[in-house]
């Protein structure tokens, strides 16, 4: 997915809670967006920190963040959240092995990132729904 500096879709309807999706895999983004739509959420894509900034003003309920994206996009998004002292719940998504994923989660939590959950790719819709419900309820 090419980097962009603007949200990839029109603003979400105010009636639906917004989830920001940050992943470089276009197919994964489409699948997540469809899952979110079926679960009653609006979604917007932020594939870099510049695209994230205007979406944070829309009061999202969560951010689904692919832990490993090209050009350091994941780290830039994390740095932006930390710089803003964001309390936005982050759901890390990754295909990393469980031990590596746990190590990343621990490191990011120590830095102050609000990690609500981790989803290991591939995941099922019921896992996403359950994880998102828990993250939003925090």
The token pair that represents 128 in the structure block: 């996403």
The token pair that represents 8 in the structure block: 């990839």
What secondary structure letter does DSSP report for 16? S
Which pLDDT score, from 0 to 100, does residue 112 have? 96
What is the rounded CA–CA span in Å between residue 17 and residue 83? 24
Please identify every stretch of the chain with a pLDDT value under 70, giving residue numbers as ranges.
1-14
Q: Is residue 122 part of a domain?
A: yes
Q: Is residue 38 part of a domain?
A: yes
CA 89 → CA 2, 4, 10, 74, 116, distances in Å? 25, 23, 23, 15, 5
CATH code of the domain covering residue 128 = 3.40.50.2300
Q: Is residue 40 part of a domain?
A: yes
Which pLDDT score, from 0 to 100, does residue 138 have? 78
Which pLDDT score, from 0 to 100, does residue 3 have? 47
**Domain limits for position 86:** 18-137
Q: Is residue 5 part of a domain?
A: no
Q: Is residue 2 part of a domain?
A: no
Q: Is residue 4 part of a domain?
A: no
When divided into structural domains, the chain yields a total of: 1
Which pLDDT score, from 0 to 100, does residue 15 have? 80
Q: Is residue 12 part of a domain?
A: no
Q: Is residue 59 part of a domain?
A: yes
The token pair that represents 71 in the structure block: 């050009």
Which pLDDT score, from 0 to 100, does residue 69 have? 94
């Amino acid at each position: 997915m090419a980097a962009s500096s603007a949200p990839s879709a029109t603003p979400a309807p105010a009636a639906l809670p917004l989830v920001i999706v940050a992943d470089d895999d276009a197919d994964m983004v489409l699948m997540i967006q469809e899952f979110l739509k079926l679960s009653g959420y609006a979604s917007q894509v932020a594939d870099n920190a510049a695209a994230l900034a205007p979406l944070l003003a829309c009061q999202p309920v969560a951010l689904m963040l692919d832990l490993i994206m090209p050009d350091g996009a994941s780290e830039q998004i994390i740095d932006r959240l930390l710089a803003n002292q964001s309390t936005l719940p982050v759901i890390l998504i990754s295909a990393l092995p469980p031990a590596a994923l746990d190590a990343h989660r621990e490191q990011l939590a120590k830095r102050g990132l609000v990690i609500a959950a981790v989803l290991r790719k591939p995941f099922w819709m019921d896992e996403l729904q359950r994880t998102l419900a828990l993250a939003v309820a925090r």
